[in-house]
Amino acid sequence: MSANAPLEPREDRPRLADREAVLALLCRYIAEAWRSFDEPRPEEPPVDVALAARLREPLPEEGVTPEEALDDAARVLDASVSPSRPLYLGYIGSTGLEVGVLGAALSAAYDVNLAVTAGGADLVERQALEWVASFVGFPHSFGAFTSGGMTSNLTALLAARERALPGARLRGLDGRRGAVYCSDEAHHSIMRAVEACGLGSDHLRRLPLDDLRRMRPGDLDAAIAADRRAGVTPVAVVANGGTTLTGAVDPLDQIADVCDRRGVWLHVDGAYGLPAAATASAGPLFAGLERADSATLDAHKWLGVQKACSVVLLRDGTALQDAFGHEERYLLHREGEPNAVDRTLEYSRPFRSARLWLAFRVHGAAAFRGYLDHTLALARRLVALLQDDPAFELLHRPQLSTVCFRHVPRAGLGLLDLNAHNRELALAVQADGRVYLAAAVVDEQVCLRVCFVNFRTRDDEIEHVVEVVRELGARLAGASYHPGEQQRT
Ligand SMILES: Cc1ncc(COP(=O)(O)O)c(C=O)c1O
C-alpha cells in the first residue's frame, strides 16, 4: 500500500450504523430476559403468527435494520424453552448465569484464535483450568475447554487409546483389539466415543449395576482379566461421576484400585455431577477422583454457565499432545513450541473459558459451593415429599440432584398402564408450562425425571412442582383433584 494511495472508506464495511443504540437495545432485551427468569412463568408463550410467517421466508437479498432483526430474534427466544427459568427441571439444564452472558458477549466481540497462541486469552484458559481442577479437587490441571461432555469424553478416550495401543493414531488398530469398561448406565457419549476411536462399540463392556446403580469393582476386575486372557487390550475404564439418568456416582476409589492393579487408564465422566465433589455433603462420594487419569466436567450444566463449555482434565501433561500433536504447513510451531491445537481435538474454538473464569471471579468458589448445596438440598426435599406421599413412587435412592419418580393414581391401579400414564403425564406437564419435566425410563418403568442444577429454583417451589404433577396426573387418570389433600387421587 503506497503512502499516497487514497484510503478506501471503511464505512462501507459491514458496520452497524448506530452501534451504541443497537447495543443499548440488546442490553434492554437481555435485561428483560433476566427479569423474566426471576420468577416462574405461568405458561410458555407460542411464536406469534406474523413472526412464524417471517421464519418461513427465503434468504433475503436486502437486509432490514438491526433493530427489526433483533426484535424478531428476541421474540423467537422468548417463545423458546429456556433452561434458565426457575422451574425448568427437565434433562440437565443450567442456570445460565448472568455473568456468563457478559463473558460470551465480550469474547465473541474479540473472537480470538485459540488454535494458536492467542496472547492474554491463553492465560485465562490456563487459569480457568487450574481453578476448575482445584474447585473439584483434581490435583492436575492439564487439559482443555471443549464443546461438551461428548467431546471431552472423546478427547480423554483418544488419549487413553494412544497410551494403551501406541501408534493407533497413525496405523489404526492394526489387528489389535481394545476394550473400554463402564457401568450399564454410562452416558451414550461413551459408546459414541468408543466408536469414534475405532474400537467398535462391541468392545464397550457395559457392566451391571449394584443396588445404588453403580459399577461393581469386582465385575470390572473380572471383565478386564477376561479381556486380557482373550488378547484384548483394556484401553480405559470410564467411571460415572453422576449418571445422567439417576445421578449415581461409581465407587471411584475402589475402581481406581482395580485400574492401578491392572494398569488401566481411569476416566471419570463427571459431565453432570463432578461439581458436587466441591461440596461438603456430596464430596465424599467422589473420594478417589484424585487418582483418575482424566475427568470430564461440563461447566454448562451444574456450574451454571451457558452452552457450550466443557472441561477435560488430565493427569499427564503430555497425553493430549501424544494423541493430537502435529505440525502442518499452515500451522508452524514457533521455535519448536507446540500450538494449542496440538492438544485439542477441535481447531477453531470459541473462548469458552472466559465465561467460567468470569463466573468464578465474580461469584467466588464459596458462593458456588453454596449454590450446589442448595440444589442438592432441593433434591432431598423432593425425595422427602415423595416418600411420604402414596400418589408417588420413587424409583431409586438419589445420590446427587436427580430424582426419578412416577405418579401412581389410585384410580389407575390395575386399570392404567403406568408407563403410558407417566409418559403422557410428562407431555402434559410440558404442555401446561408451569413446570418443565421430562420422561425417562428406570428399570423398564417410565417415570418423571427431575434434575436440580438451576440455582434459581427456590426451596418453597418444590411443593408446587409436586402439586402440578399431582393435579395433571389426576386429570389424566380421570380422577378428581383436591388441592392440599395428600392422598391418592
Ligand atoms: C454424564 C454425561 N456425560 C456426557 C454428556 C454429554 O454432554 P454434552 O451434551 O455436553 O456433550 C452428558 C449430557 O447430559 C452427561 O450427562
- How does DSSP assign 441-476, residue by residue? EETTEEEEEEE---TT--GGGHHHHHHHHHHHHHHH
Mean pLDDT of all residues belonging to the chain: 95
Q: Is 161 a residue whose pLDDT tops 80? A: yes
Burial letters 34-64, b for 16+ CB under 10 A, else e: eeebeebeeebeebeeeeeebeeeeeeeeee
Q: How close is the Cα of 433 to the center of ligand 1, in Å?
A: 25
CA distance linking residue 244 with residue 157, whole number of Å: 19
Q: Is 11 a residue whose pLDDT tops 80? A: no
446 in Cβ contact with 419 (< 8 Å): yes
Q: Is the CB of 150 under 6 A from ligand 1?
A: yes
Q: How close is the Cα of 254 to the center of ligand 1, in Å?
A: 24
From the CA of 149, give the closest atom in ligand 1: 7
Across residues 360-365, what is the average pLDDT?
98
What's the pLDDT at 481? Answer: 56
CA distance linking residue 263 with residue 234, whole number of Å: 9
What's the pLDDT at 13? Answer: 76
> Which of the four pLDDT bands, split at 50, 70 and 90, describes residue 489?
very low
Across residues 474-483, what is the average pLDDT?
74
Q: Is the CB of 144 under 6 A from ligand 1?
A: no
Tell me the pLDDT tens digit for each residue of 97-147: 999 999 999 999 999 999 999 999 999 999 999 999 999 999 999 999 999
Q: How close is the Cα of 189 to the center of ligand 1, in Å?
A: 7
Amino acid at residue number 397? R
Q: How close is the Cα of 269 to the center of ligand 1, in Å?
A: 8
Q: How close is the Cα of 151 to the center of ligand 1, in Å?
A: 9
CA distance linking residue 294 with residue 311, whole number of Å: 10
What's the pLDDT at 483? Answer: 55
Q: Is the CB of 156 under 6 A from ligand 1?
A: no
76 in Cβ contact with 68 (< 8 Å): no
**Nearest CA among 283, 310, 282, 307 for reference residue 295:** 310
Choose which residue among 94, 145, 147, 150 to substitute to test ligand 1 binding: the one with the highest number of ligand atoms within 8 A of its C-beta: 150
Q: How close is the Cα of 247 to the center of ligand 1, in Å?
A: 12
Tell me the pLDDT tens digit for each residue of 299-322: 999 999 999 999 999 999 999 999
From the CA of 308, give the closest atom in ligand 1: 10
**Closest protein CA for atom 5 of ligand 1:** 149
Q: How close is the Cα of 289 to the center of ligand 1, in Å?
A: 18
Q: Is the CB of 149 under 6 A from ligand 1?
A: yes
What's the pLDDT at 263? Answer: 98
Burial of 193 per CB tally in 10 Å (0-12, 13-18, 19+): buried
Choose which residue among 189, 215, 356 to substitute to test ligand 1 binding: the one with the highest number of ligand atoms within 8 A of its C-beta: 189
From the CA of 307, give the closest atom in ligand 1: 10
Across residues 406-430, what is the average pLDDT?
86
> Which of the four pLDDT bands, split at 50, 70 and 90, describes residue 1?
low
Choose which residue among 91, 151, 185, 272 to substitute to test ligand 1 binding: the one with the highest number of ligand atoms within 8 A of its C-beta: 272
Q: Is the CB of 94 under 6 A from ligand 1?
A: no
Q: Is the CB of 83 under 6 A from ligand 1?
A: no
Q: How close is the Cα of 304 to the center of ligand 1, in Å?
A: 14
> Which of the four pLDDT bands, split at 50, 70 and 90, describes residue 388?
confident
239 in Cβ contact with 217 (< 8 Å): no
CA distance linking residue 375 with residue 369, whole number of Å: 10
Q: How close is the Cα of 245 to the center of ligand 1, in Å?
A: 11
Q: Is the CB of 270 under 6 A from ligand 1?
A: no
Q: How close is the Cα of 451 to the center of ligand 1, in Å?
A: 13
Q: How close is the Cα of 400 to the center of ligand 1, in Å?
A: 16
* Secondary element (H or E) of residue 222: helix 217-229
- Residues 200, 346, 143, 109: is their CA dihedral positive or negative? negative
Q: Is 410 a residue whose pLDDT tops 80? A: no
CA distance linking residue 121 with residue 127, whole number of Å: 10
Across residues 243-250, what is the average pLDDT?
98
